[in-house]
Amino acid sequence: MSKKKSRYAPTLNDVARESGVSAITVSRCFRHPEKVSDAVRKRVMETVEKLGYVPNSAASALASRRTDVIGLLLPSLNNNVYLDVVSGAFDRAHGTRHAIQIGNHKYSPLEEEKLIRIFLQQNPAGLIVAGGEQTEAATEMLREADCRVVQIMDTDVDPIDLVIGLDHERAAGEAVAGLLARGYERIGFLGARMDTRSQKRLAGYRRVIGDSGGEERIATSPMPSSARLGAQLLADLFARYPDTDAVFTNNDDIALGAYLECQRRAIRMPEDFGIVGFNDMDLLEELNPSLSTVRTDRYRMGHDSVDRLIALADTARPEGAAVLDLGHACMWRGTTREA
Amino acid sequence: MSKKKSRYAPTLNDVARESGVSAITVSRCFRHPEKVSDAVRKRVMETVEKLGYVPNSAASALASRRTDVIGLLLPSLNNNVYLDVVSGAFDRAHGTRHAIQIGNHKYSPLEEEKLIRIFLQQNPAGLIVAGGEQTEAATEMLREADCRVVQIMDTDVDPIDLVIGLDHERAAGEAVAGLLARGYERIGFLGARMDTRSQKRLAGYRRVIGDSGGEERIATSPMPSSARLGAQLLADLFARYPDTDAVFTNNDDIALGAYLECQRRAIRMPEDFGIVGFNDMDLLEELNPSLSTVRTDRYRMGHDSVDRLIALADTARPEGAAVLDLGHACMWRGTTREA
DNA sequence: ACCGTGAATGATTGCGCTGTCATTGGCAAT
DNA sequence: ATTGCCAATGACAGCGCAATCATTCACGGT
């Protein structure tokens, strides 16, 4: 046993010799099992078990010009929203031969373009990109890509193969309309890290407020979301619009901050003030009163996009791109009055 | 030209031809830049830029029997604790040629063993494993592995190359001792998902309670942590020990649940009841009163383990394994009295 | 008996890169 | 001038696998 090298790692050839078949037959047992007779496959698989053979993915990738890697490009890893996506993606990939490779571009389109180039160069089995803020070059690469691409989070992006997301503008609009329906009249918007999705939520807020003839009351910050920032934004909003009686927030972190700021100011919820968050993080349902919010199914976005990519792997680009709207659900809970 | 294919993807040879050097020299510019003269390297790198060349990692891995992948084996992806580790690991790997490959074994040692086998077979640049609950076979594989292994989270594991973590038993003991020092006398323990780390925290609780001559008051559940479960566990504890005046909890989710249950029961914190959580999730500092907890540096565990692995890649197993204790910090905040 | 058919299996080749060893040439010490 | 040495660069082979094409063989229809 040398100090280095897992030297006895068996190869395809070892398995083939041991099972009395040719190497390619062993290969087929993994890649195209339907092309091998049951008897042979069983024998080969027993040898595989016995020797502890694990295919060398580098060799496989080199020979077939195709890896089993599904790339998952995200704008952040500091956010529960994306953790849910990751979790769904990994759950679906688990037990398949596919691996998920995460890339984090930190909301930088240039960084994203770089990652897309690197990922595509490795011939992935598929690619999942979050959000539709790519550079032109990146979009072009995705269009030309030799693998299927799933765009997640938003539905209103320029589709390539498949889009799985929701309509943030509509979801926000519905939440704000729900506040109006519940008798709140002077509704504000709190938002942090105003990326495109946040912009869309703001647009939904504006549309509904505009339609209702109400006044826009907006407090935003380019900083990343946090509860602390949420409290500051609400304080800011109150400073400018003291009679605000409800807020719709960009996400649940901000909502929690606003919620706690209300508690500090002894503002009664839902009687005198309403809050609606966005995303439905588990924790916040437990508060008293519990937080009203808009539920989005991030787990399923991750899960289903991997599911579709596995199904679509090795297929040609479909004629028309499909858009899967997973929708949303307004969860009216304790921080808003009854309708 | 086939119907698809990132067709003009340039290879090493293209770069070599274009720069007027041999292929191996281009290779060296990437793998061993110090062995190439500055002039040549500059010229080659310009060509690389010009052609948009990206090395084919499969070919590189096959030829060198070494990938640039650092495996990160985690017991869960539904938990902020591990998200922080992931985040730190990705941040450190960003911009290097190394990629992080996550594996999620969902607290199953058998699954972990399988993942370790698969990962090692790909000749990773390094491996990070969380927790010390491996099967014997898994431990053996890690010991024989042809790459450096970093064990994170705990410090009291049987070390292989490098351990980066903290002493959960000690941290818990300190937290409980802190509660005693703050005048709480009938202290309970709430715990969910009693994995080894939770067991260690429980052991720390027991030690300190035992030393103080107090009575053990323990409510645990095998279920995954959640705020809801925390509330239930506290209710359970009160049912059995109505005079409990403080709890140390397994983690912050449980602590939040206990906190909210106290609010529902109108129990005053910190006067009549103390709570100390574990992990220091950002959100909970914002509560009123803010949650006392034990801060642990998960981000740094992820970050530093990648950092060390990059430094140690291609080195032999060191003689003595090193243990890096990142320590912890008891954050005495609003849910506990002054000392 | 003959052929055609198709399922099962095998032989060959090369994917793109890097380890190894060989070669070149410049320079300091003799 | 000669030697030895080292830095810089190159030629070649082969990593482990799968695409491609070739071969074998059983079987049913005529």
- What single-letter amino acid sits at A287? L
- Residue B126 belongs to what H/E stretch? strand B126-130
Using the structure block, give the residue that is written with the tokens 């690991």: B89
Q: Tell me how far apart the 2 most distant CA atoms of chain A are, in Å.
A: 83
Q: For strand A99-104 and strand A218-221, is the pairing parallel, antiparallel, or unpaired?
A: unpaired
Question: If you count them, how many residues does chain A have?
Answer: 339
Residues 6+ apart with CB under 8 A from B28: B35, B36
pLDDT reported for residue B4: 35
| Residue in A117, A122, A288 closest to B263 by CB | A288
Question: What are the helix (H) ranges across chain A?
Answer: 12-19, 23-31, 38-51, 57-64, 80-93, 109-121, 136-144, 168-181, 196-212, 227-240, 252-264, 298-312
What CA–CA distance (Å, rounded) separates A28 from A18?
16
CA atoms within 13 A on the CB side of B150: 30
- What single-letter amino acid sits at A220? T
Q: Are B258 and B323 in contact (CB under 8 A)?
A: no
Beta bridge partners of A322: A162
Per-residue pLDDT of chain A (339 residues; tens, 9 = 90+): 333 334 468 899 999 998 888 999 999 999 888 888 888 899 999 999 999 899 999 999 999 989 999 999 999 999 889 999 999 999 999 989 999 999 999 999 999 999 999 999 889 999 999 977 889 999 999 998 989 999 999 999 999 999 999 999 999 999 999 999 999 999 999 999 888 899 999 999 999 999 999 999 999 999 999 999 999 999 999 999 999 999 999 999 999 999 999 999 999 999 999 999 999 998 899 999 999 999 999 999 999 999 999 998 877 787 877 999 999 999 999 999 998
CA atoms within 13 A on the CB side of B269: 28
pLDDT in tens, A26-48: 999 998 888 888 888 999 999 99
> Which CA distances in Å does B11 have to B17, B47, B228?
10, 12, 55
Q: Are B186 and B244 in contact (CB under 8 A)?
A: yes
Beta bridge partners of B265: none
pLDDT reported for residue B7: 52
Provide the Cα torsion B122, B128, B131, B132; round to 10°.
60
Measured to protein CB atoms, the chain D nucleotides within 7 Å are 7-20
Q: Could you tell me the domains of chain A?
A: 12-55 (1.10.260.40), 69-166+298-325 (3.40.50.2300), 168-297 (3.40.50.2300)
Question: If you count them, how many residues does chain B have?
Answer: 339
Three-state SS at A157: coil
B32 strand D contact, CB < 7 Å: no
| Residue in B57, B62, B264 closest to A288 by CB | B264
Range 228-247, chain B: CB under 7 Å to any strand D atom:
none
Q: For strand A329-331 and strand A322-325, is the pairing parallel, antiparallel, or unpaired?
A: unpaired
**Phi and psi (nearest 5°) for B32?**
-140, 65
Rg of chain A, C-alpha, whole Å: 25
Distance A21 CA to C1 C1' (A): 33
> Which CA distances in Å does A15 have to A5, A20, A193, B84?
20, 8, 54, 41
Residues 6+ apart with CB under 8 A from B284: B252, B255, B256, B259, B277, B290, B291, B293
Neighbours of B48 (CB within 10 A): 21
What CA–CA distance (Å, rounded) separates B199 from B193?
9
- Residue A70 belongs to what H/E stretch? strand A69-74
What CA–CA distance (Å, rounded) separates B196 from B204?
12
B90 CB neighbours in chain A (<8 A) are 77, 102, 104
Give the best residue of A15, A49, A77 to mutate against chain B (max B CB count within 10 A): A77
pLDDT in tens, A216-239: 999 999 999 999 999 999 999 999
Q: Are A333 and A290 in contact (CB under 8 A)?
A: yes
Phi-psi region of A221 (alpha: psi -120 to 50; beta: other; left: phi over 0): beta
Measured to protein CB atoms, the chain C nucleotides within 7 Å are 7-12, 14-20
Judged by CB atoms closer than 8 Å, whether chains meet at B283 and A282 is answered as no
The whole-angstrom distance between A334's CA and the closest CA on chain B is 14
What CA–CA distance (Å, rounded) separates A30 from B304?
37
Per-residue pLDDT of chain B (339 residues; tens, 9 = 90+): 333 334 568 899 999 998 999 999 999 999 888 888 888 899 999 999 999 899 999 999 999 999 999 999 999 999 889 999 999 999 999 989 999 999 999 999 999 999 999 999 889 999 999 977 889 999 999 998 989 999 999 999 999 999 999 999 999 999 999 999 999 999 999 999 888 899 999 999 999 999 999 999 999 999 999 999 999 999 999 999 999 999 999 999 999 999 999 999 999 999 999 999 999 998 899 999 999 999 999 999 999 999 999 998 877 788 887 999 999 999 999 999 998
Cis peptide bond upstream of B270, omega within 30? yes
* Token pair in block for residue B175: 């937290």
Judged by CB atoms closer than 8 Å, whether chains meet at B283 and A283 is answered as yes
